[in-house]
Structure 1
Amino acid sequence: MDAVPDPAELFAQLRREPDVDAPDLVAVDATDRLLLDEAAAAIAAAPDAVVVVDDGHGALTLGAAGLHGATGVRVHQDLLVGELALAANAERTGLAGSYRSLPLGPELVRGARVVLAKAPKSLEALRELVQVVAADADPAVTLHVGGRVKHMTLGMNDVLGEGFTDVHATLARQKSRVLVARGPRPVRSSFPVCREHADLGLTVCAHGAAFAGAKVDRGTRALLAALPGAVPDAATALDLGCGTGVLAAALAAARPGLSVVAADQSAAACASAAATAAANGLTDRVRVVRDDAAASLPDGSVDLVVCNPPFHLGVAVSETLAHRLFAGAARVLRPGGELWCVYNSHLPHRDALRRLVGPTRQVTRDPTFTVTASTRR
């Protein structure tokens, strides 16, 4: 008889890299363990029909394969660093080849009987997942959505109820809980959502997991107002951490001779930015790339970088993500090129910008947002 795999031994091999790391951040959490335990019987009953969504660093995918015998696991991770961490952890644990990565869509879930998902930060992201699973998974599918109790709301039950007839919650364990949904019913996709902003002369489109949805957040508006003065003779520009692509679309629309790249590590952001470009007739003017901190762009190839960096890692405030983008901007900027950045005025980003990019001047500031311009040394 084969030995029963040891979860502790498997999970001890997992790492977060290349994602940001810190003493209080982990590669496997209580929600991962609870999801795998709750779905164990379902995985065993349909080991070739398992889908995993937004696996942080591979614990769900590799746990399903290594502990419960799942084969050919289909995986969608919104963040590229999650994909890279999963690949590295699969090699480390001898489970490379046990899964394949796919976009969020019909191919991901077609015929799926078991779907494991970490609870997304927004209800719109959950709604898009529900619509995809309910429309194309096997009629006998069970969707397991796990998260920390303090971050789960009754609104999640309501969204799951839009696509499933039976929704219930498991008992909590180690401050985590799983919502279980069965009985998919017909539901039409509502994504991407598009909204016209007449004051900006732009239509913005968003998939569920895109920050701010189809709205234009106040920080982006502050940077938009300053952009006419940003390197007027630039030939190439990069919207770094582009989200829905508002800044890229605005630059391309205002400067017909400018070559614009929109980059983000989020699959939902990239799909949204591409939809925004198309909605504004800018598909041939804006090139969208999914990468981590502009890693795919050559050194010294850009005249202007614009950036509205995130300052949350999950639900915690973190400067690390912004610093990673600043370092990426410094690498791709030509000497004398500029990074135009907006951030919450209370954040101490200016010192980091001076250190990582070069001399930094304040362009505008109010009690909420500061716009700075940093010149590459």
Structure 2
Amino acid sequence: METLNIRSGEFQLERLPKIKNDTLRGWDAADELLIETVLTDYSHLLVTPPLIANDSFGALALAFNEYSVHSWSDSFISHLATTHNLSLNKISASPVLIPSTKEAEGKYDLVLIKIPKTLSLLEDQLCRLKPHIHPETVIIGAAMSKHIHTSTLKLFEKIIGTTTTSRATKKARLIYAQNDQKNNVVSPYPKTIKDESSGINLQNFANVFANDHLDIGTRFFLETIKKHLNQHGEYAEQAPNIIDLGCGNGILGIAAKQLIPHAKISFTDESYAAIASAKINYSNETIDKNTDDAEFLMSNSLDQYKGDTPDLILCNPPFHQAHAVGDHIAWTMFKQSQQKLQKNGELWVVGNRHLAYHIKLKKLFGNCQTVASNKKFVILVATKNKK
């Protein structure tokens, strides 16, 4: 746990999910620069609630906790962390938590945007922000300098208006955008793509991984699932519980449902955009158009899953959290899968070869089989309590 020292106070701040011996802080120099700038130059605008977009772990909500902030994010974990850190500091304020797939509320005098990792999410947010700002609204973006690109500034120019940047401070920089662009913009998301190999049409919201194409790892996983799931005779004789863990747009769970129509499918992800995409795609691409026969959970890994013991878990794990790269999310997914699966239940994983997931899976499950591989990816299967 680290202490955030700013003009408005000292705050304890934890990253979620908690990781043993975590060396990363829950904020960066861009948060500090943004907070100091607002308190110095724009505190007079805090008479009305500011809109904060993409507050990683609640540092901005803590700094401005007395101003009834609205927190707009695609991350369920970020919203959990915001609530957790306010409670940790014994702050009773309750910010308005707005999922990325929902509209912001009312008009804002001050908008603070931490620049997200994906340009598509920023584009979607800026487009949908337009109805909620007026010509005098102060809009400030913030990021580490290495994460601000020409394409970032062009988006602000195109959608919002005249855009300038600050000088770098501790390798962080601010973006100032003036709302003088008169064009009426509509977000291009969700986008519809078609996977030619499966014939599945997918609607992808802005922050879904590879939102304009089917990534090659998922494509390889789909090919493998189709070859092998039909060989499991027990799935034809029972109604298996299947989880698409870290589901993204839901294509793995949808493919499983198409192969085993009587299966119960659960989709989990910490991205609001992912769950929204999965729900639409499941309804469009399964025989039963009623999504009531499936479960869609906002969850850090399997934390929120309370359903029946799964027979099969399909997982294409992420190897980063925002800009931070690491295997802690995959490790959590693997551990929780091992705990949740029924005896002889299987975890199927796709991953880049160099990530060496087979070592972790063998350590957890005591076994790991390579079902398929190519030059870049491996498909691994680990079985719980395998004899």
Same fold (TM > 0.5)? yes
**Retained in 1: the 8 A contact 2:246–2:317?**
yes
Match of 2:249 among 224, 238, 244: 244
Letter in 1 for 2:62: L
Distance, in Å, in 2 between the alignment partners of 1:46 and 1:158 is 28
Relative distance call for 1:59 and 1:165 in structure 2 (3 A) is same
CA drift of 1:283 comes to 4.7
Out of 75, 92, 95, the residue aligned to residue 91 of structure 2 is: 95
| 1:57 alignment partner in structure 2 | 57
SS in 2 for 1:62: helix
Is the partner of 1:196 in helix, strand or coil? Answer: strand
Q: Secondary structure at the match of 1:239?
A: strand
Structure 2 CA distance for partners of 1:165 and 1:299, relative to 1, 3 Å: closer
- Output the CA distance in 2 between the equivalents of 1:232 and 1:165: 60
Whole-angstrom CA distance in 2 between matches of 1:48 and 1:21: 39
Q: 1:107 to 1:209 in 2, by over 3 A?
A: closer
User: For residues 177 and 374 of structure 1, do their structure 2 counterparts lie closer, same or farther at Cα, with a shift above 3 Å needed?
Assistant: same
AA aligned to 2:27 is: V
Aligned equivalents of 2:195 and 2:345: distance in 1?
A: 30
After superposition, what is the alpha-carbon deviation per residue over 1:79-119, rounded to whole angstroms, capped at 9, x for unaligned? 22222221121012232324121222564242112111211
Counterparts of residues 108-257 of structure 1 (less than 5 Å) = 108-183=104-179, 185=182, 186-228=184-226, 229-230=228-229, 231=232, 233-234=234-235, 235-257=240-262
Q: Aligned equivalents of 2:95 and 2:310: distance in 1?
A: 36
Partner of residue 317, structure 1: 325
Check whether the contact 1:18–1:84 (CA below 8 A) recurs between aligned residues: no
Distance in 1 (alpha carbons) for counterparts of 2:283 and 2:298: 17
The aligned counterpart of 1:38 is: 37
Q: Tell me which residue corresponds to 1:280.
A: 285
Q: 2:299 aligns with which of 291, 296, 302?
A: 291
1:313-367, Cα deviation, whole Å (9 max, x unpaired): 3334311110001112112211111001101111121121122234211101122
- Across the aligned residues of Structure 1 and Structure 2, the Cα RMSD in angstroms comes to 2.2
Percent identity at matched positions? Answer: 25
Give 1:306's aligned residue.
314
> What CA deviation, in whole Å up to 9, does each residue of 1:275-305 have, x standing for no partner?
3223325452543211111122237611110
Q: Does residue 1:265 correspond to 2:270, yes or no?
A: yes
1:375 maps onto 2:374 in alignment: no
Q: Which moved more, 1:26-35 or 1:348-357?
A: 348-357
**Deviation (angstroms), 1:47:** 3.0
Residue-by-residue CA offset, 1:40-69 (whole Å, 9 max, x unaligned):
33343243230111111111111122xxx5
Deviates more, 1:199-208 or 1:230-239: 230-239
The gaps in structure 2 that reach 5 residues or longer are none
- 8 Å contact from structure 2 (residues 299, 305) kept in 1: no
Amino acid across the alignment from 2:146: K
Number of residue equivalences: 369
Q: Deviations over 1:151-188 (max 9, x none)?
A: 21010111112221221111111001111212154211
SS at match of 2:201: strand
Q: Is the 1:238–1:304 Cα contact (8 Å) retained in structure 2?
A: yes
| 2:340 corresponds to which of 332, 335, 338 | 332
Alpha-carbon separation, structure 2, partners of 1:28 and 1:298:
32
Instruction: Tell me, in whole angstroms, the C-alpha distance in 1 between the residues paired with 2:296 and 2:340.
Output: 16
CA shift at 1:148, angstroms?
A: 1.0
CA distance in 2, matches of 1:375, 1:294: 18
Counterpart Cα distance in 2 of 1:232 and 1:204: 29
Q: TM-score, normalized by length of structure 2?
A: 0.88
Task: Give the partner amino acid of 1:44.
Answer: H
2:25 counterpart of 1:26:
yes
